Amino acid sequence: MIVTDGTGSMGDFPKVIFEKLPLLDLGIADYLDDVEISVAMIGDAQYDARPLQVQPYTKGKGLVGALNNLVIEGGGGGNQTESYDLAALYYARNADMPKATNPVMIFICDEGIYPQVDANWAKDYAKVDIDKKMKTDALFEELKNKYSVYCIRKHYGDHSGDKMQGADLAVHKQWERYVGAERIAMLDDPRRVVDVIFGLLAYETNKMDFFKKELSFRQTPAQVEAVMKSMLTVGKPQAMLPAAKSVLKR
């Protein structure tokens, strides 16, 4: 599962990322067998017409069509929070993967998450009924029981470089709280997104030595340096989960 933020603060990242993601087909088999991918895009339920868009699982060249079906709204409300919680709730409750051996979920984002899931938004957009507002902490604990969850994060606003401060730091601390500091990769250049995803999968499957050699073989030293810088804080994989068709409920 790859969930991309399509709001305005992401700039041209979503467009570039969507252009690059089909390249996953060229190397993902080095890390996982018989992979199916569901791509999604989030916005802000408070402001946007399409706060959650989800595509069915697909593989190979089908990924191109799935990405073309997602609309990059470029909206959001400038409030340092977006509706990542709706994607988390949807995939936690509506994705069936009875034989998945390594279910991985990756958020590509720059802002924070609403601290609670609104019951009306949950029903309208995630197609999940909850009796009352659900705390995002509890939601992510549920999500992490189903997937190995990572975050690829763009610096928020005009922040850049190695030192975080202000709103950018606050957003980062929130993602640390929900997924763990060792599961966040910073992305300065969206053109490197596929390499960073391969890096996450390499950690997940204990193939980092292979990843580094393969990356060095096909990319320039500067590109390798950029990818490995993104991977600096990513920790070691959790134990693999025990392998039917994956289904998204409507």
Domain at 2-240, CATH homologous superfamily:
von Willebrand factor, type A domain (3.40.50.410)
| Higher pLDDT among residues 247 and 114, named by residue | 114
The pLDDT of residue 228: 94
**What tokens appear for 48 in the block?**
């946007």
Ranges 76-80, 125-129, 178-182, 215-219: which has the least confidence = 76-80
* pLDDT of residue 238 exceeding 80: no
Confidence of residue 159 (pLDDT cuts 50, 70, 90): low
The pLDDT of residue 100: 79
Q: Which helix (H) or strand (E) holds 179?
A: helix 166-179
Cα Rg of the chain (Å, integer): 17
Decide if 111 contacts 80 (C-beta within 8 A).
yes
| Higher pLDDT among residues 12 and 133, named by residue | 12
Q: What are the residue boundaries of the structural domains of the chain, listed by start?
A: 2-240
Confidence of residue 247 (pLDDT cuts 50, 70, 90): low
Ranges 145-149, 209-213, 246-250: which has the least confidence = 246-250
| Higher pLDDT among residues 100 and 189, named by residue | 189
The pLDDT of residue 163: 74
- Burial string for 19-36 (b: 16+ CB within 10 Å, else e) reads ebbbebbebbeebeeebb
The pLDDT of residue 78: 77
DSSP string, 83-128: THHHHHHHHHHHEE-TT-SS-EEEEEESSEE-SEE-HHHHHHHS--
| CA atoms of 13 and 7, how far apart (whole Å) | 10
Strand, coil or helix: 219: coil
Q: Is the pTM for the entire model greater than 0.85?
A: yes
Mean pLDDT (the chain, rounded): 90
Q: Strands 2-5 and 39-42, how do they pair?
A: parallel
| CA atoms of 183 and 225, how far apart (whole Å) | 19
